[in-house]
C-alpha cells in the first residue's frame, strides 16, 4: 500500500512537498514542470533517466531536472520511502542568482543521484521545519541553504559563489530591523531588501558577524525579551503572544533550548527572589528549577 502526504510549503511561492512510502513503485514515463529534489530515507529508488538506470540508496539524493522524462521501477521487494520537494525553475534560478550575484539564463541541470550527507540533512531539516510550523524566516533560510548547495556543488555547470564580504552597516541594518520587528513573521526577502543585499549575502554576512543566522538570532532575541517579561510576573502564555511565539509550547521549547529551564520555572525563580516573604513553590517535575544568579 502506498502511503503519502503532500502539500504546498506554507507561503513559499507554491513549492510542493511530498513524503511517501512506495512498497512496489512503478511510475510510467513522465516529466515534471519543476525540479524534483528528494532524499531516500530507506530502501532504494531505481529510475530510468537520461538513457540509463540509476539507483539512489538510503541517505542519498535523487533529482530530476524540469521537463526531462523518466520512469520509476522497483529496485527490490522492499520498495522505498522518501521526502521530496519540487522547486519551480524560477525559485532555483533565484537561489543561483543570489549565490552568484549575477543574472543567469537557462535551466541548471542536476545529476540523477547525489551522495551528499549535508544536503540530505538540509532536505530533512526543511521538512521538519515545515511540520513544526517554524517561522517563515527559518524555513526560507533552510531552503536557500539547500538550493545554494545544490547549484554550487552539484549542478552540471556549477555556479560560482561571489566571495565579496557584505558591508558591516548593511548587516547592522538587518539586525536592527529584526530587533524592531521581533514579534512579527519576518521574511527573508524583506530582511534582505532592508539590508540592501541579496538573500545569500545577507545570510552569510549575518552569520559571520553575529555567529548565528538571522532566524536563530531572532529566536534568541525573543527568548531574552520573554525573560524580561517573565520577571515582571506575566504568565508564559501571555509572554509567548507578546514576543512573537505561536503559542506557549513554542515558547517553552525555545526557552528551554537556550536556558535549560522552562518559562514557568524561570518565572517562579524570579518571583522567589523578588518576594522573599512568599512561600517557595514546589519543584517543577518536568524540568529542573534553579534560582537565578
CATH code assigned at 251: 1.10.10.60
Given 178, 193, 211, the domain boundary residue is: 211
Among residues 191, 167, 189, which one has the least CA distance to residue 178?
191
In a domain, 285, yes or no: no
Contact residues for 138 (Cβ-Cβ < 8 A; gap 6+): 129, 215, 216, 219
Q: Over the stretch 138-159, which tens digit does the pLDDT of each residue have?
A: 999 999 999 999 999 999 999 9
Residue 166 has pLDDT above 80, yes or no: yes
C-alpha 107/C-alpha 92 separation (Å) is: 9
Confidence of residue 72 (pLDDT cuts 50, 70, 90): very high
What does the pLDDT average to over 101-123? 94
- Strand pairing report for 80-86 and 70-73: unpaired
Residues 15 and 143 in one domain: yes
Same domain, 125 and 198: no
| pLDDT band, residue 13 (cuts 50/70/90) | low
Q: Say if residue 7 is in the same domain as residue 149.
A: yes
Please check whether residue 282 lies inside any domain of the structure.
Answer: no
Predicted confidence band of residue 76 (pLDDT cuts 50, 70, 90): confident
What is the percent of the chain where pLDDT is above 90?
A: 74
C-alpha 284/C-alpha 271 separation (Å) is: 14
**Is residue 109 domain-shared with residue 197, that is, in the same domain?**
no
| Per-residue confidence (pLDDT) for residue 162, from 0 to 100 | 81
- 292 domain residue, yes or no: no
Q: Tell me if 229 is assigned to some domain.
A: yes
Residues 206 and 243 in one domain: no
pLDDT digits (tens, 9 = 90+) for 44-69: 999 999 999 999 999 999 999 999 99
Determine phi and psi for 72, rounding to 5 degrees: -125, 130
Report the distance separating Cα 181 and Cα 109, nearest Å. 39
Q: Is residue 148 part of a domain?
A: yes
For 116-266, list the strands marked E by DSSP: none
Residues 32 and 14 in one domain: yes
Question: Does the pLDDT of residue 115 top 90, yes or no?
Answer: yes
| Domain boundary, last residue among 108, 124, 154 | 154
Give bridge partners of residue 250 from the DSSP assignment. Answer: none
Is 126 among the domain residues?
Answer: yes
Kindly indicate the confidence band of residue 291, based on its pLDDT and cuts at 50, 70 and 90: very low
- Average pLDDT score over the chain: 88
Mean of pLDDT values over 207-228: 96
Tell me the pLDDT tens digit for each residue of 181-192: 999 999 999 999
Most confident of 14-18, 161-165, 200-204: 200-204
Residue 161 placed within a domain: no
CB 45 within 8 A of CB 72: yes
Q: Is the dihedral of CA 40, 43, 48, 52 positive or negative?
A: positive
Residue pair 141/158 in contact (Cβ under 8 Å)? The answer is no
Residues 189 and 54 in one domain: no
Number of domains in the chain: 3
Would you say the pTM of this structure is higher than 0.75?
yes
- Asked whether residue 100 falls in the same domain as residue 25, the answer is yes
* pLDDT of 122 above 70: yes
One domain, residues 130 and 196: no
Tell me the CB-side half-sphere exposure of residue 135, using CA atoms within 13 A: 25
pLDDT at site 23:
86
Residues 16 and 45 in one domain: yes
pLDDT at 28 over 50: yes
The boundaries of the domain holding residue 239 are: 217-274
pLDDT for the residue numbered 163? 64
Amino acid at each position: 500500500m502506498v502511503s503519502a502526504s503532500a502539500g504546498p510549503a506554507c507561503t513559499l511561492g507554491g513549492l510542493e512537498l511530498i513524503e511517501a512510502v512506495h512498497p512496489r513503485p512503478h511510475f510510467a514515463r513522465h516529466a515534471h514542470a519543476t525540479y524534483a529534489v528528494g532524499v531516500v530515507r530507506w530502501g532504494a529508488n531505481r529510475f530510468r533517466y537520461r538513457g540509463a538506470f540509476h539507483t539512489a540508496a538510503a541517505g542519498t539524493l535523487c533529482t530530476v531536472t524540469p521537463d526531462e522524462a523518466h520512469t520509476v521501477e522497483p529496485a527490490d521487494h522492499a520498495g522505498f520511502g522518501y521526502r521530496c520537494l519540487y522547486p519551480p525553475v524560477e525559485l532555483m534560478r533565484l537561489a543561483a542568482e543570489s549565490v552568484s550575484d549575477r543574472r543567469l539564463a537557462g535551466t541548471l541541470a542536476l545529476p540523477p543521484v547525489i551522495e551528499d550527507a549535508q544536503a540530505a540533512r538540509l532536505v530533512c531539516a526543511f521538512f521538519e521545519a515545515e511540520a513544526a510550523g517554524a517561522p517563515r524566516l527559518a524555513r526560507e533560510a533552510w531552503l536557500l541553504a539547500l538550493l545554494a548547495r545544490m547549484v554550487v556543488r552539484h549542478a552540471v555547470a556549477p555556479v560560482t559563489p561571489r566571495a565579496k564580504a557584505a558591508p558591516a552597516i548593511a548587516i547592522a541594518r538587518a539586525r536592527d530591523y529584526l530587533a524592531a520587528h521581533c514579534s512579527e513573521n519576518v521574511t527573508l526577502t524583506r530582511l534582505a531588501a532592508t539590508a540592501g543585499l541579496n538573500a545569500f549575502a545577507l545570510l552569510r554576512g549575518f552569520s559571520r558577524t553575529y555567529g548565528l543566522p538571522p532566524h536563530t538570532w531572532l529566536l534568541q532575541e525573543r527568548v531574552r525579551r520573554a525573560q524580561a517579561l517573565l520577571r515582571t510576573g506575566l504568565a508564559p502564555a501571555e509572554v509567548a503572544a507578546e514576543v512573537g511565539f505561536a503559542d506557549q509550547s513554542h515558547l517553552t521549547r525555545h526557552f528551554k533550548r537556550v536556558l535549560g529551564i522552562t518559562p514557568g520555572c524561570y518565572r517562579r525563580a524570579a518571583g522567589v527572589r523578588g518576594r522573599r516573604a512568599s512561600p517557595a513553590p514546589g519543584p517543577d517535575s518536568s524540568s529542573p528549577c534553579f534560582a537565578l544568579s
